[in-house]
Amino acid sequence: MTQEFLTSVFGWMTVLNIAVLLFTTLMIVILQDWIAGVHGRMFQMEKTDVKKAYFRYLANYKILIIVFCLMPWLALHLA
Tens of pLDDT along 44-59? Answer: 999 999 999 999 999 9
Collect all residues with Cβ–Cβ distance below 8 Å to 24 and sequence separation of at least 6.
Answer: 58, 61
Model confidence pLDDT, tens digit, residues 8-42 = 999 999 999 999 999 999 999 999 999 999 999 99
pLDDT at 79 over 90: no
Cβ(7)–Cβ(77) under 8 Å? yes
Residue type, 60: N
Instruction: Give the torsion sign (CA, 59, 46, 43, 28).
Output: negative
